[in-house]
Chains A and B, each alone.
Chain A
Amino acid sequence: MMDLNELLSQLQSTQQTEATSRLSERNVIDLVNKLKQLGILGDELLYTINGKEYITTDQLKKEVSLALKQSGGRLALVELPALVGCDLLHCERQAAAVVAEGGGEVLEAQGELITVQYFDAIAGEINDLLQEAGQVSLSDLAVQYALNTELMASMLHSRMGGAIQELGLESAALGGSGGGSVVASIVDELVREGALAGSLKGGGVNWVPAVYSTAQRNAVRSFYEQNGWVGYDTAKRMGIPNASSYLRTAFPDGIPLETALVGPSLLSQVRETSSAAASTSSPAAHPAANNSKGGPAGAAAEKGQQAGGSSDDEDWAANAKRGGKGGKGGKSGGKAGKKGGGAGGAKAGKGAAAASGPGSGAGSKGHSIHGGPLPLTMADLEAQVLELRPDLEGVGTTGSTSGEAGGAAQALAALLLPAAVAAYEATLSAAFTTSVEEKRRAKEALAQALDAAYQRLCLYAVGVEEFALAPAESSPADGTVPAPAAASKGGGQGGEDGDEPATKPAKGSGKKAAAAAERAAAAKERRADKAQPTDAQTEGSSIQPGTQQQQHQQQLQQKGGGDKAAETVYAALVRQALRTSGAEAVDALCKWAQVEHDVGAMSDTPTHNQNTTNSNRAANSAAATAQGSSSGGRSSGGQVMDLVKSPPLSPAERGALLRSLPSDAAAALAAALEAMASASTIRDALEALSHAAEVLGLRLKAVDKKQERAVLAQLRAELLGALSSEHDPAAALALVVPLLFMRVTGKAVAVPGKALAAVLARCGSGSSNSGTRASAGSLSPEALSSVEAFHTQVVEHLVLMGGGGRGSTDESRRQASLAESLAQQLPAMKCLAGLGGE
């Protein structure tokens, strides 16, 4: 055991040793709070992210700087909290403090802390890259180092010559967004040094070599010197953008016109020519002499003459074409002068007059009467005056020589000349400036008319089947089935001829079978027509007296149920439909083709078969228009829309149209015309019409069920409208019967006079025999009998009116009583047809 003194000293030393400090977290937090409350620590003490540590702002700033160094000089602020364990807000504050205290050594950009050393390092890398590649895109560098382009550019430019060694074209090598300007500056420098000859245009984008500019100037000057004028279009084609100002600057002595710059030499030439023409006093021989004022208008006119003779002058050709498409075709000067001067020259003269002011109008007019057909020379005008007023011949002449001027006729011609020229030019202008819009409107209107007629014809095609299918029209006695009726049964039976026993099975569909049946019926009808007069005399709603007996016979035949009578009715209905709506449709198609193919030399577009050149056509058109020619003038000028409302084309006009159309179109249209005249069924005519329209470029849509109802309603409204204003019993009957048929069967037919009785009989039989459509209504026996009585009286009245009787007094009284009776029955008939309530 130890000595007592040693123990005492050990006790003393043990008590003097420091106790190990073991403070709990709670104690420490309490202590820190206490220190804060006492103001010893202040507010600079921050918590760490985990909440278990305190850190001062100074320490945080040091740690931020340390983290930036450890990361190589570039550190995103968002990475600081993870590195230093403090909130991002405190990190950002201390980062800002680091940047502020860095003295430019540290930058804060794009949410990152970047040191100058980092920039130096990447500048070195870029320098190595430049040495290897020779060119580095600034945008590529920006992407590679994830820096924005501006920062990258500023950094690199500040190190140019330092970290980035000087190269020959180091600025250009650093391409990118500023590359264009760099190139431009380099090129400018080279131009100043004389290494390059040329200039940069278009904001430094386009390089124009000096040789090109020289060649351009030489070409323009050469053209000007050779021709005495330069067109603005010509200069533009030579690559001069602002031709007008360029030419004015390049040739200050020239006279600027609307489309060209004319030199003084040409002007003097025109003046000389004018003087020579004036001295010979022969306007026709020297047309330029009528340019009384000379000046720019005369120069332009003379230019037109010359341009007609120079085949290589495309510029004037363009001008002449714009004026009337007349200046290009001629090879010799005189010929071109006649053709081009008549049309194109007039236009050019007008344009020049507009450009040079009112004072030059006379020159324009004077020019317009030279050359070409010469419709408005003074001599012609004087001759026409004398022709209209022969009494003026010799009046007012003072000299004995016939060539001496001063007569009253000549004075009158001189007085009329300006107005005549103005009218001529207006007509000429109208001939060439027919608006495309007007043409389009005309075509639209014609296409609509064609559609309406086509749809109505489709309706009639359905309506006539009602008669082809009617079993009542068949002849049960002879044991045969009518072809149409057989066809309507879906091909079960059918035949080429209605008289044949229906033993051949129809292979086609129902429609085809129906068409075949129609054709068969039509063939039979044609045979019957040889023996019977056609209903050509009964065209329209008027019933001619000569056909009444025939109609009566037909009625008797129908009453007897004869097969022949049924076929006759069917054929009559078909012919009536084709002669009304079919004719309208084909006429609209012809007019449409006339407008479309510009028959009459109206359009600017070339036609298929016209071998004449545009210039010839234009000249002919101009001449024809000016002379008031009626041939082909219907569709020219402002008369395009008149074509829509004009009466149907005459056979001669149709023939001319067919001759002027392309062969395929002409053939198709001719087929359609033939079909309308002689088709045995409506469907055949419809097919021919549709084919012709398709060849001409129109598509006719077949009428579906919905459209059929709409068209039917429209047709009914039209018939009712016509009926409401009709006071003639015969004409009213022709309207009442289709309306009654429409009411009973829901179908439409175009009823000729001789088929009225048959249609009425069908109305009396009730609904459609085909059973495909429910009848809209049926006629009561009383109503039917009243209509039939009305019909009988109308027939009788017409017979009496046509002199069917002997003209006795009794017949006159009978005629008067019939007229009175018909007039009394007419309102009832109208009411029965659906007008004003039923």
Chain B
Amino acid sequence: MAETIDKNTKERVGKIPLLTVNAGPRDKEKWEDRLKEELMALINYIRQNKEADMDWFTIEPKNNGLSWQGKCWYIHNLVKYEFDFRFDTPATYPAAAPEIELPELEGKTAKMYRGGKICLTIHFKPLWIRNSPRFGIAHALCLGLAPWLAAEVPYLVEEGAITPKV
């Protein structure tokens, strides 16, 4: 993990508040508290990004936090590449990490599972397990989706698999 996550990412993820409520969607009363902490962490992370001119996603909870959807983008060679993403909150959450899907990129890269789920097995899931239940959705986006986009979008651009949405 130490080798895979760079210093800047560590600093940013360190500024995201850790969660304290260990509850999943099946815990009806505590889930709402957990969801509040998730939203507060997201707000904090998004605010940091905007202040650092590093804003790169938007997100919106659906169905009382059981599913999430939004948009993420990456700028490569001064060209912005934007994608829709979504994921469902696992039933064993927070013990299990959410599986983020980029449906429009399905079949365009090998670092993706069926259904457009990005591959987070090697680097992210061990980290999530070690920090569960203190990591939340903001951490999953910061440590999972952002590195994946930084690694795969240039490759996809060079391959010509994706084009910018003008």
A binds B: yes
Can you name the residue of chain B whose Cβ is closest to the Cβ of A30?
B78
Q: Answer whether residue A20 sits at the interface, using C-beta atoms and an 8 A cutoff.
A: yes
Write out the residue numbers on chain B whose beta carbons fall within 8 Å of the beta carbon of A18: 50
Q: Answer whether residue B11 sits at the interface, using C-beta atoms and an 8 A cutoff.
A: no
Write out the residue numbers on chain A whose beta carbons fall within 8 Å of the beta carbon of B58: 15
Question: When the two chains form their complex, are residues B52 and A22 in contact, meaning their CB atoms are under 8 A apart?
Answer: yes
Question: When the two chains form their complex, are residues B49 and A19 in contact, meaning their CB atoms are under 8 A apart?
Answer: yes
Can you name the residue of chain A whose Cβ is closest to the Cβ of B65?
A4
Write out the residue numbers on chain B whose beta carbons fall within 8 Å of the beta carbon of A31: 78
Can you name the residue of chain B whose Cβ is closest to the Cβ of A1?
B36
Question: Interface size for chain B: under 10, 10 to 19, 20 to 34, or 35 or more residues?
Answer: 20 to 34
Expressed in whole angstroms, the Cα–Cα distance for A815 and B35 within the complex equals: 175
Expressed in whole angstroms, the Cα–Cα distance for A153 and B59 within the complex equals: 79
Q: Answer whether residue A14 sits at the interface, using C-beta atoms and an 8 A cutoff.
A: yes
Given known pairs A15-B46, A19-B50, the reply for A34 and B61 (CB within 8 Å) is no
Can you name the residue of chain B whose Cβ is closest to the Cβ of A16?
B58
Expressed in whole angstroms, the Cα–Cα distance for A8 and B36 within the complex equals: 9
Expressed in whole angstroms, the Cα–Cα distance for A1 and B19 within the complex equals: 14
Given known pairs A11-B42, A19-B53, A31-B78, the reply for A4 and B32 (CB within 8 Å) is yes
Expressed in whole angstroms, the Cα–Cα distance for A18 and B47 within the complex equals: 10
Given known pairs A19-B55, A30-B78, A31-B78, the reply for A4 and B39 (CB within 8 Å) is yes
Q: Report the interface size for chain A: residues with CB under 8 A from the other chain.
A: 20
Q: Answer whether residue B29 sits at the interface, using C-beta atoms and an 8 A cutoff.
A: no
How far apart are A437's CB and chain B's nearest CB, in angstroms?
102
Q: Answer whether residue A71 sits at the interface, using C-beta atoms and an 8 A cutoff.
A: no
Expressed in whole angstroms, the Cα–Cα distance for A30 and B53 within the complex equals: 17
Question: When the two chains form their complex, are residues B36 and A7 in contact, meaning their CB atoms are under 8 A apart?
Answer: yes
Q: Answer whether residue B43 sits at the interface, using C-beta atoms and an 8 A cutoff.
A: yes
Expressed in whole angstroms, the Cα–Cα distance for A2 and B32 within the complex equals: 11
How far apart are A2's CB and chain B's nearest CB, in angstroms?
7
Candidates A2, A11, A20, A21; contact of B46 at CB < 8 Å:
A11
Expressed in whole angstroms, the Cα–Cα distance for A22 and B50 within the complex equals: 10
Expressed in whole angstroms, the Cα–Cα distance for A15 and B56 within the complex equals: 10
Contact with A along B40-83 (1 / 0, CB 8 A): 10110011011111110011110000000000000000100000
Write out the residue numbers on chain B whose beta carbons fall within 8 Å of the beta carbon of A21: 53
Write out the residue numbers on chain A whose beta carbons fall within 8 Å of the beta carbon of B61: 8
A-B residue pair count with CB separations less than 8 angstroms:
48
Write out the residue numbers on chain A whose beta carbons fall within 8 Å of the beta carbon of B55: 19
Expressed in whole angstroms, the Cα–Cα distance for A34 and B33 within the complex equals: 49
Question: When the two chains form their complex, are residues A22 and B46 in contact, meaning their CB atoms are under 8 A apart?
Answer: no
Question: When the two chains form their complex, are residues A14 and B36 in contact, meaning their CB atoms are under 8 A apart?
Answer: no
How far apart are B66's CB and chain A's nearest CB, in angstroms?
14
Q: Answer whether residue A17 sits at the interface, using C-beta atoms and an 8 A cutoff.
A: yes
How far apart are B157's CB and chain A's nearest CB, in angstroms?
16
Candidates A2, A7, A20; contact of B50 at CB < 8 Å:
A20
Write out the residue numbers on chain B whose beta carbons fall within 8 Å of the beta carbon of A509: none
How far apart are B49's CB and chain A's nearest CB, in angstroms?
7
Expressed in whole angstroms, the Cα–Cα distance for A15 and B61 within the complex equals: 13
How far apart are B36's CB and chain A's nearest CB, in angstroms?
6
How far apart are B23's CB and chain A's nearest CB, in angstroms?
14
Question: When the two chains form their complex, are residues B50 and A17 in contact, meaning their CB atoms are under 8 A apart?
Answer: yes
Can you name the residue of chain A whose Cβ is closest to the Cβ of B38?
A7
How far apart are B127's CB and chain A's nearest CB, in angstroms?
24
Question: When the two chains form their complex, are residues B39 and A11 in contact, meaning their CB atoms are under 8 A apart?
Answer: yes
Expressed in whole angstroms, the Cα–Cα distance for A212 and B46 within the complex equals: 109
Q: Answer whether residue A280 sits at the interface, using C-beta atoms and an 8 A cutoff.
A: no
Question: When the two chains form their complex, are residues A14 and B43 in contact, meaning their CB atoms are under 8 A apart?
Answer: yes
How far apart are A292's CB and chain B's nearest CB, in angstroms?
125
Question: When the two chains form their complex, are residues B49 and A7 in contact, meaning their CB atoms are under 8 A apart?
Answer: no
Contact with B along A22-49 (1 / 0, CB 8 A): 1100000011001000000000000000
Write out the residue numbers on chain A whose beta carbons fall within 8 Å of the beta carbon of B51: 20
Expressed in whole angstroms, the Cα–Cα distance for A11 and B47 within the complex equals: 9
How far apart are B114's CB and chain A's nearest CB, in angstroms?
30
Q: Answer whether residue A537 sits at the interface, using C-beta atoms and an 8 A cutoff.
A: no
Write out the residue numbers on chain B whose beta carbons fall within 8 Å of the beta carbon of A7: 36, 39-40, 43
Expressed in whole angstroms, the Cα–Cα distance for A1 and B35 within the complex equals: 12
Write out the residue numbers on chain B whose beta carbons fall within 8 Å of the beta carbon of A8: 39, 61
Most buried by B among A14, A31, A34: A14
Question: When the two chains form their complex, are residues B46 and A14 in contact, meaning their CB atoms are under 8 A apart?
Answer: yes
Q: Answer whether residue A181 sits at the interface, using C-beta atoms and an 8 A cutoff.
A: no
Q: Answer whether residue A627 sits at the interface, using C-beta atoms and an 8 A cutoff.
A: no
Task: Give 16 CB contacts A-B under 8 Å.
Answer: A2-B40, A4-B32, A4-B39, A7-B36, A7-B40, A8-B39, A8-B61, A10-B39, A11-B46, A11-B60, A12-B60, A14-B50, A19-B53, A20-B52, A20-B53, A30-B78
Interface positions of B (Cβ within 8 A of A): 32-33, 35-36, 39-40, 42-43, 46-47, 49-55, 58-61, 78
Given contacts A1-B36, A12-B60, A19-B53, 20 further A-B contacts (CB under 8 A): A1-B33, A2-B36, A4-B36, A7-B36, A11-B39, A11-B42, A11-B43, A14-B50, A15-B58, A15-B59, A18-B50, A19-B49, A19-B50, A20-B52, A20-B53, A21-B53, A22-B52, A23-B53, A30-B78, A31-B78
